[in-house]
Amino acid sequence: MPKLSALSFLLLVIMCWSGPSAAAGVPMSDAEVQFWDRSITPDGETLPPGGGSVADGRIVYETACASCHGVTGRGESPLVALVGGNGTLTARSPNKTVGSYWPYATTLFDYIRRAMPFGQQKSLSSDEVYAVTAYVLFLNGIIEKDGTITKATLPSIEMPNRDGFFWSEEARRLTGEL
């Protein structure tokens, strides 16, 4: 039996993961494109309409997230921890959590929207994603207990590690900043 090279295997995985139409070599329908093309930019321009509160987020979190991430968001291992890790980024084993590592609140929204809850990806409504995002930001001490986030307010949330990343010269050239 012939062996698959690493590149061939990766391409096969990407084709299968991309959806049934892509794997079959058939162009995706408009509905499939809309389902898969959900990128949220750091500036928030591509956020969907909606909003959610910390209180509503707690309810969604407890039913859809706590089984993996723990009731307090600290998880059972660093791989699933959402909270903690402050001051560990320069340590030998940094704990990269939402509060210690992520530079943009919009990136958190994007990740939850695309990849969570595990095994039921893309099953949350936009309002539920806003709410869970608000709750996770609250758990990290970034917004207040009575906080609500919307398309208009999410991009303005300042994450603790917002200055921990930098744009490469190429990225600045592409965005016109150079």
pLDDT at 169 over 60: yes
90-108: average pLDDT: 93
167-176: average pLDDT: 74
Q: What is the pTM of this model?
A: 0.76
pLDDT at 45 over 60: yes
Helix 126-139 × helix 54-64 angle, to 10°? 100
CATH assignment of 39-174, given 1.10.760.10, 1.10.10.10, 2.30.30.180, 3.40.50.150?
1.10.760.10
Residue 118, CA distances (Å) to 68, 138, 142, 159, 163 in order:
9, 21, 24, 24, 30
> CB under 8 Å to 108, separation ≥6 — which residues?
98, 102, 133, 136, 137
What is the C-alpha to C-alpha distance for residues 36 and 19, in angstroms, rounded to an integer? 8
pLDDT at 108 over 50: yes
Among candidate residues 83, 93, 92, the one with its CA nearest the CA of residue 160? 83
Delimiting residues of CATH 1.10.760.10 domain(s) in the chain: 39-174
> CB under 8 Å to 168, separation ≥6 — which residues?
none
